[in-house]
Amino acid sequence: MSTLLVLLLLLPAAGIAALYLAPAELAARIGAAVGAAVLVLSLVLLPLFDYGHAGRMQGQLKLSWVPTIGLDFQLGIDGISLPLLLLTTLLAAICLFYAQRTTTADDKGRTFTALLLLLTIGMVGTFLAENLLLFFIFFEIVLIPMWALIHEWGSGKDNGADARRAANKFILYTLLGSALMLLGFIVIYSHAHTFDMVTLAQRPGFGLTTGVQATAFLLVGLGFAIKTPMWPLHTWLPDAHTAAPTTGSVLLAGVLLKMGTYGFIRIGIGLLPLGAHRFALALAAFGVVGIVYGALACIAQLRRGGDLKRLIAYSSVGHMGFVLLGLGSMTRVGIDGALFASVAHGLITGLLFFLAGGVKERLGTTDLYAIGRGLYGRARRYGVLVAFAAMASLGLPGLAGFWGELYVLIGAYKPAPGLNVLGFHILMGVAGLGMVLTAAYLLMLVRRICMAPPQGADGPSESSESGDADEVSETDQENEADEVRESSPSVPSSAASGSTTTGSAAIGSPIPAFADLTPRELISWLPLGALILAAGLWPAIILAVADPAVHALFGGVR
Amino acid sequence: MFAASAFGSAAIDYVALLPVILVALGALGILVADLFLSDERKPLLNWAACAVLVAALAAELGLWFSRTRQARTTFCVPVPGHLNLTSGLCSYSVDSLSLTLQTVAIGGTILVVLMSSRLRQQHSGHSVFGEYHFLILCSLTGALVMVAARDFITMTVALETLSLPAFALVGFGRLAGGEAALKFFLMSVTSTAVMLFGISLVYGVTGSVYFNGINAALSNGGPRMPVLAVGIVLSLVGFAFKVSAVPFHFWIPEVYEGAPLPVAAYLSVVSKTAGFAGLILSIEIAFSSYLSSVATLIAVLAALTMTVGNVVALRQSSVVRLLAWSSIGQAGYVLVPLAVTSVLHSSEAIGASVGYLVLYAVMNLGAFATVNLLAVNEGSAHNLADYRGLYRTRPRVALPLGFFLLCLAGLPPGLMGLFAKVAVIRAVVDGGPLWLAVIVAVNIVIGLFYYLRWIGLLFAPSTTLASSPAGAPIRWTRTPLALRLAVLLPFLGAIVFSVYPDPALWLAL
């Protein structure tokens, strides 16, 4: 099985070599083929995995690489990394397949595909690495490709200057986190004299004192917090997501954020339990603030006329807040929930970003007001998929988002011994409020995009009035105190009167054409939808492997 | 072996001195040959210098493979009775530190000589080969001796041998060469004078100029005199100047910009290596009993150097100045492990510093070599804006340059730089103050900003393609072989070290 793990890393590398040996026109096809091959390889892992011992590290490989600095090429997979690995290969394969249409058949397209493959190597390697330095190297490998994707293929104002700024912000912020994380690793090394994660996990904390663990957790935690992202270290996320191309956003939200939460689980809690215990309440508190903040920011996007991708980006901050709450509870249930929520978020937000990318392809913009309304009528399947993804995102039971939130809240209700129970109960309450706000903005989103305004519209003026009426009625339902609502929605709606009003009144006015799902999109996105449904109805497909591994994580602490 | 009675009954170990002798004789030989060669045959001298250096490198490798547990020493004096020493008092020692750094110096000079293949004299347009190579090889002789010297007098003589030809070399520069040379001369001579004063104070207190002797005298636990503290600090000044530690760094941007590019490359790598050797030997051997006090000073110096170098580099738009400030920042990283406070961590610290030096030499020389190649070929490579879209027009130059910049930044796939930084951070977390490690982490991020800006320019879609001064892209094969080699060799070295950095980091074991 260890050869399989190495192959998972070598295959994209061979793909990059093949890209530069073959003519540039074939680049996208080669990329899609390699992506599919990597996905198939990772699926081959499924029958080979020993489910009876999911808590144990399997497929281990240890080769000495640079003994002077303690770096070994050490790979392994267990119940925590297996679902994340499969999520990564699935999203990468779908992205490479989806990119075939948009990739130009020249050198630039070849570079694009090569960057996606390099990104795959970094992402897969992060989840497979079992040596702290190797983990760091793979963690950093993803930085340059993602920066280049946003820098060169991103979209923004000022002829792309916005995209370049977003790319720089992304890489500098994340690199600062990585550098602090490296420092934390070296602090661990200077006391434990090994970077080997398997060895370090044998005993809880490996005999490091609480002070050392706390210092190391602070450093390492800051690094992962920037990646997750945790409020208030999240400011790089909205800009990066808005500017990135579709596949970049999908991989950024679907996988790169999970690298942060995986790091928290594997390294933060797994290797430094006493340090994590000290900062658990803070972690959970920041997470919960993120939930509410993300939801409020999304609502602001919808009211003031914002960007669809920005909205999804802020929703990521909210969902990751749930993950952090689960991690902070330091219980088996909580971390199960955090892991499940991570995988679910990857699937759901991946789908959401794909949908946003489809909108961008068709309309050239993801501005919430320019998209128009009544997608159910204009492109029925597309509208249904948008609504499906929105329902999954708000945690509707039966879809994947529900179980993560449920487990996290149960974990927060009964946190680990030694943690402030009252504090966690308060956080649980606020998280519940956050869930309501999350439902609010997602329903508002579905209403704005998919639904048409009420019938009886006789002309543009009346439609705009009914448009205002919608806003006013929504006003009565919300509880926020600090927004001037009446004027703001009407101003952009009159400015974009062409789309807003015509979308609603199907009375011979020009409607921006919106083609329904193409077969290529259907093939790419249906697996995500199917998995969301499957995980929602049968959470054991993730938890059956993850739970034993999480239990093993707590081997000595509880 | 020849035995000479110049040092009492001790013999001079000529085998140990072989690399130095070869380089010195080669220098003289080239100067003589220059008198007899006609102008068209002068480029041969370039290859002659390379040959001399390759021979010296071969001698060095011979010393590597024949090394024993006890380092070869020469120019030894009998140990005075009152000092109890296990090893002798020797002026020249070929131990692992000397071997590593001498190899770096010789290798670096080979690349510099390759880079100089199209240098033309400022006013007359005549080729500069004879004097130029003579001066470089003389300077290298000084560097080689400095790395292997084990007493302050030899060290100072070697320092001067390194510097005096360097002043003249800087003067070869096209635009502001003379002015830069004068500034360099004045600042260098002042710092050397201060250093000599410090050495004399140390000699007054300890009674010895040999590093081992000073260490023995200080560790005997004599009274701690203030004059000794002054002596220690002042005697480090000369090395700090060579190493471009803040606040002795002011000469660097001016001198690098005024000198010819190969000379700037030489100063940034070989001259720094020699300076660091002096610094490492003084701190870790001579003054090791005062390590805990000196370490704080070095920590502050390192933090300032890194930060000032990286922050000022952010604002540079001239390529040479950017490389100059970046090399100041990198020198700060090399200083960081020397801030360990305990003698127990000394050897790890020395290993980390030396390892970083070796890797830094490869990356920095590579960056200078590519800039030099572009400057020679296209004549305009002095502003960052000239590099926009280089990947489209000169992919074979842009790719190595991008790789070297990634290595300098320490980001994958430039793994070489990453390993170097990990070694340095490890050394300081083990034995030094943690705040310094945090500053290193922050500086890595600051450094990335300007390296990334340059890399982004390389791969940006070129808007100035139509108005590029070179017109049609110049074919790679028409570039002189020497310039191509100067880029290719570091590139191969960087790739090898990114996968297998052990040869560079072996001292850190």
Cβ-contact B266, B112 below 8 angstroms: yes
How far apart are alpha carbons A360 and B232 in whole angstroms?
67
B24 assigned to some structural domain:
no
How far apart are alpha carbons A215 and A192 in whole angstroms?
14
B272 assigned to some structural domain:
no
Mutation choice for A interface testing from B448, B455, B458, B507 by most A CBs within 10 A: B448
CA distance A549 to chain B (A): 31
Please give the mean pLDDT across all residues of chain B.
Answer: 86
Q: Give the DSSP per-residue string, B124-146.
A: T--B-HHHHHHHHHHHHHHHHHH
CA distance B42 to chain A (A): 42
Q: Give the DSSP per-residue string, B314-354.
A: TT--BHHHHHHHHHHHHHHHHHGGGG---GGGHHHHHHHHH
* DSSP label at residue B7: B
Chain B: residue whose CA lies nearest to A151: B456
Chain A: residue whose CA lies nearest to B355: A68
Task: Establish if B425 touches chain A: CB-CB under 8 angstroms.
Answer: yes
User: Taking the model in full, what pTM does it have?
Assistant: 0.88
How far apart are alpha carbons B146 and B140 in whole angstroms?
10
Each domain of chain A, given as residue ranges in start order, spans 2-553
CA distance B360 to chain A (A): 17
Q: What is the structure's pLDDT at A458? A: 40
For residue B288, what are the contacts with CB-CB under 8 A and spacing of at least 6?
B215, B219, B343, B346
Give per-residue pLDDT as tens, A152-176. Answer: 888 877 667 888 889 999 999 999 9
Cβ-contact A79, A546 below 8 angstroms: yes
Task: Show the tokens assigned to B108.
Answer: 């670096």
B483 pLDDT band, cuts 50/70/90, is: confident
How far apart are alpha carbons B111 and B490 in whole angstroms?
8
All residues of chain A having their beta carbon less than 8 Å from the beta carbon of residue B342 are none
Q: How far is CA A265 from the centre of its chain?
A: 16
Task: Please name the member of A68, A168, A215 whose beta carbon is closest to the beta carbon of B505.
Answer: A68
Residue with tokens 């994707």: A149
Chain A: residue whose CA lies nearest to B424: A69
Q: What is the structure's pLDDT at A105? A: 80
Give per-residue pLDDT as tens, A81-108. Answer: 999 999 999 999 999 999 888 888 888 8
How far apart are alpha carbons B359 and B274 in whole angstroms?
15
Own/partner pairs, A375-378, CB within 8 angstroms, 24+ separation = A375/A449, A375/A450, A375/A514, A376/A450, A376/A451, A376/A452, A377/A452, A377/A506, A378/A503, A378/A511, A378/A514
Weakest-pLDDT range from A149-163, A187-201, B41-55, B80-94: B80-94
All residues of chain A having their beta carbon less than 8 Å from the beta carbon of residue B456 are 151, 164
Q: Which amino acid is at A396?
A: L
Q: How many residues does chain A have?
A: 558
Own/partner pairs, B9-18, CB within 8 angstroms, 24+ separation = B10/B75, B10/B76, B10/B77, B12/B74, B12/B75, B13/B72, B13/B73, B13/B74, B15/B63, B15/B72, B16/B63, B16/B72, B16/B73, B16/B74, B16/B92, B16/B94, B17/B74, B17/B92, B18/B56, B18/B59, B18/B62, B18/B63
Q: Which amino acid is at B417?
A: G
Tell me if residue B123 falls in helix, strand or coil.
coil
How far apart are alpha carbons B207 and A423 in whole angstroms?
68
Q: What stretch of H or E contains B392?
A: helix B390-393
Contact B429 A148 (CB under 8 A): no
How far apart are alpha carbons B273 and B295 in whole angstroms?
20
B121 pLDDT band, cuts 50/70/90, is: low
What is each CA distance from A392 to A110, A387, A445, B226, B281, in whole angstroms?
35, 9, 13, 74, 65
Is the C-alpha dihedral spanning A88, A90, A93, A95 positive or negative?
A: negative
Task: Establish if A176 touches chain B: CB-CB under 8 angstroms.
Answer: yes
A408-425 average pLDDT score: 91
Task: Show the tokens assigned to A3.
Answer: 């050869």
Tell me if residue B17 falls in helix, strand or coil.
coil
Position A507 pLDDT exceeds 50: no
Chain B: residue whose CA lies nearest to A71: B419
Position B90 pLDDT exceeds 90: no
* DSSP label at residue A268: I
Give per-residue pLDDT as tens, B262-317. Answer: 999 999 999 999 999 999 999 888 888 888 888 888 999 999 999 999 999 999 88
Packed helices A143-153 and B434-459: angle between N→C axes, nearest 10 degrees? 40
Task: Establish if A64 touches chain B: CB-CB under 8 angstroms.
Answer: no
Task: Establish if B204 touches chain A: CB-CB under 8 angstroms.
Answer: no
Contact A180 B441 (CB under 8 A): yes
All residues of chain A having their beta carbon less than 8 Å from the beta carbon of residue B356 are none
Q: What is the structure's pLDDT at B461? A: 74
Task: Establish if B430 touches chain A: CB-CB under 8 angstroms.
Answer: yes
Cβ-contact A489, A471 below 8 angstroms: yes
Q: What is the structure's pLDDT at A103? A: 81
First to last CA, chain A: 31
B87 pLDDT band, cuts 50/70/90, is: low
Contact A66 B425 (CB under 8 A): no
A382-405 average pLDDT score: 92
Task: Show the tokens assigned to B42.
Answer: 């002068």
Residue with tokens 């996988």: A255
Burial A207-244 (b: 16+ CB within 10 A, else e): ebeeebbbbbbbbbbbbbbbbbbbbebbebbbbbbbbb
Q: Is B410 exposed, middle or buried (0-12, 13-18, 19+ CB in 10 A)?
A: buried
Position B507 pLDDT exceeds 80: no
Position A59 pLDDT exceeds 80: yes
What residues make up the domain containing B399? 292-509
Task: Show the tokens assigned to B425.
Answer: 């951070």
Contact A171 B406 (CB under 8 A): no
Q: Is B187 exposed, middle or buried (0-12, 13-18, 19+ CB in 10 A)?
A: middle
φ/ψ region of A60 (left if φ > 0, alpha if ψ in -120 to 50, else beta) reads: beta
Q: Is the model more confident about A404 or about A107?
A: A404
A133-149 average pLDDT score: 93
Q: Give the DSSP per-residue string, A336-386.
A: HHHHHHHHHHHHHHHHHHHHHHHHHHHHS--BTTTS-S-HHHHSHHHHHHH
Task: Please name the member of A68, A137, A187 whose beta carbon is closest to the beta carbon of B418.
Answer: A137
B93 assigned to some structural domain:
no
Q: What share of chain B in percent tops pLDDT 90?
A: 45
Domain count, chain B: 1
Contact B412 A133 (CB under 8 A): no
Closest CA to B87 of B96, B95, B79: B79
ipTM of the complex: 0.87
Chain A: residue whose CA lies nearest to B460: A152
